[in-house]
Chain A
Amino acid sequence: MIRFLLKGILGDKSRSLLPVIVVCIGVSLTVLLNCWLKGVMGESLVMNANFDTGHVKVMTRAYAQEAQQMPNDLAILGADTLTEQLKKTYPDMDWVKRIRFGGMIDFPDEQGETRAQGPVVGWAVDLLSAGSKEATRFNIKKSLVNGKLPSTAGEALITHDFAEKFKVNPGDEFTLFGSTMEGSMAFKNFVVSGTVRFGSNVLDRGAIIIDMADAQQALGMEDAAGEILGYFTTNQYDNAKATAITTSFNAKYTQNTDEFAPVMLRLRDQGGMAEYIDYSTTMGSLMVFVFVLAMSVVLWNTGLLGGLRRYTEFGVRLALGEEKNHIYATLIYEGILIGTIGSVIGTGIGLSISYYLQEVGVDIGGSMKNSTLMMPSVVRAAITPTAFYIGFIPGIFSVVLGNALAGIGIYKRKTAQLFKELE
Chain B
Amino acid sequence: MMLIPCPHCGPRNETEFAYGGQAHVSHPEDPHALDDAAWARYLFYRENPKGLFAERWVHSAGCRRWFNAVRNTVTYEVQSVEPIGPRPPGGRPAESTTSEGGHA
A binds B: no
Which residues from chain B sit less than 8 Å from chain A, CB to CB?
none
